Amino acid sequence: MSDYKYKRVLLKLSGEALMGSKEFGIDPGVPQKIADDIKAAHEAGVQIAVVVGGGNIFRGLSGAAAGMDRAQGDNMGMLATVINSLALQDTFEHNGMECRVMSAIEMHAISETYIRRRAIRHLEKGRITIFAAGTGNPYFTTDTAAALRACEIGAEVLMKATKVDGIYDMDPVSHPEAKKFDTISYMEVLNRDLHVMDATATALCHDNHMPIMVFNLDEKGIFDRALRGESVGTTVVDE
Ligand SMILES: Nc1ncnc2c1ncn2[C@@H]1O[C@H](COP(=O)(O)OP(=O)(O)OP(=O)(O)O)[C@@H](O)[C@H]1O
Ligand SMILES: O=c1ccn([C@@H]2O[C@H](COP(=O)(O)O)[C@@H](O)[C@H]2O)c(=O)[nH]1
């Protein structure tokens, strides 16, 4: 345990990044890469909670743009996160890591329902605990679910693993000239309207002094380095 900086963390995994080289769905190599990366920390006793997005399958906003009722589309998006959560659980278990999925929307047949105290108990017992179905409410995102759960379980840090290697002064995907921050304050993220994480999630972390790290999910060994306290990607901190 002494090699690791953190005792309890929340990892937010991009749904879209689970596609790997595929155009839709899940590339099995990506969950396996995540399992490989977190195994040592898990064995060393780091308590790991996970929230995964659903962008590889469905986003409510895309449904609404195509004329669908927004809340209906968001419900579909939340179900997409359940599919991703079950896929991750399967991979973690195949790698010998005990894992529970807890859904914000009741689905007795396939997962436990989210109960905060029970979630903390799972973590204390060394089970990787995946929080599925976002917040359980439409009009939110899994970034906000990750911020909310991180605060609820008393995580020391929210680690957002995504398709970019940190926070830039503009979207680096559409602006290759964008400059990366090593650290940035919550207020700067909000004032500059940087969309790497949604504003609700950033504000919730700000109000509750929850540090955020943003880094690239594809980089080999990145989770382990982050869990050891190396500064990877960008860290969002109080001023
Ligand atoms: N200033 C910025 N710095 C870094 N990334 C940015 C910035 N502005 C926008 N982005 C975009 O934010 C994306 C990451 O956030 P996004 O919420 O879309 O993904 P996610 O939550 O990881 O994915 P999913 O919805 O699939 O779970 C990056 O792919 C990047 O293109
Ligand atoms: O609390 C929540 C979380 C998510 N949703 C819906 O799910 C999709 C997928 O989540 P991403 O964060 O975009 O990966 C999202 O677009 C919403 O439609 C939700 O309604 N409530």
Ligand 2: which of 24, 26, 141, 143 to mutate, judged by most atoms within 8 Å of the beta carbon?
Answer: 141
pLDDT in tens, 84-135: 999 999 999 999 999 999 999 999 999 999 999 999 999 999 999 999 999 9
Q: Is the CB of 134 under 6 A from ligand 1?
A: no
Overall residue count recorded for the chain in this entry: 239
The CA-atom distances, in angstroms, between 84 and each of 65, 88, 171, 239 are 23, 6, 26, 35
pLDDT above 60: residue 147: yes
Q: Is residue 2 part of a domain?
A: no
Q: Is residue 232 part of a domain?
A: yes
Q: Is residue 172 a part of any domain in this protein?
A: yes
Q: Does residue 68 lie within any of the structural domains?
A: yes
How far does the centroid of ligand 1 lie from the alpha carbon of residue 117, in Å?
31
Q: Which residues pair with 236 in a beta bridge?
A: 184, 212
Residue 217 Cα to ligand 2 middle (Å): 19
The residues, ordered by sequence, that sit 6+ positions from 51 with a Cβ below 8 Å of its Cβ are: 10, 11, 12, 13, 81, 130, 131, 134, 142, 145, 146, 149
Binding residues: 12-15, 54-55, 59, 74, 135-142, 162, 168, 171
The mean of the pLDDT values for the chain is 96
CB 34 within 8 A of CB 217: yes
Integer Cα distance of 151 and 12 in angstroms = 13
137 located within any domain: yes
Give the pLDDT mean for 147-172. 97
| CATH label of the domain that carries residue 228 | 3.40.1160.10
Q: What is the pLDDT of residue 238?
A: 85
User: How many domains, the chain?
Assistant: 1
pTM: 0.96
User: Is 234 touching ligand 1 by the criterion CB < 6 Å?
Assistant: no
Q: 1 lies in a domain?
A: no
Q: Which domain holds residue 205?
A: 8-237
Nearest to 87 by CA among 145, 27, 47: 27
Q: Cα(135) to centroid of ligand 2, in Å? A: 8
Name the closest-CA residue to atom 20, ligand 1: 14
pLDDT, one tens digit per residue, over 25-84 is 999 999 999 999 999 999 999 999 999 999 999 999 998 899 999 999 999 999 999 999
Across residues 141-150, what is the average pLDDT? Answer: 98
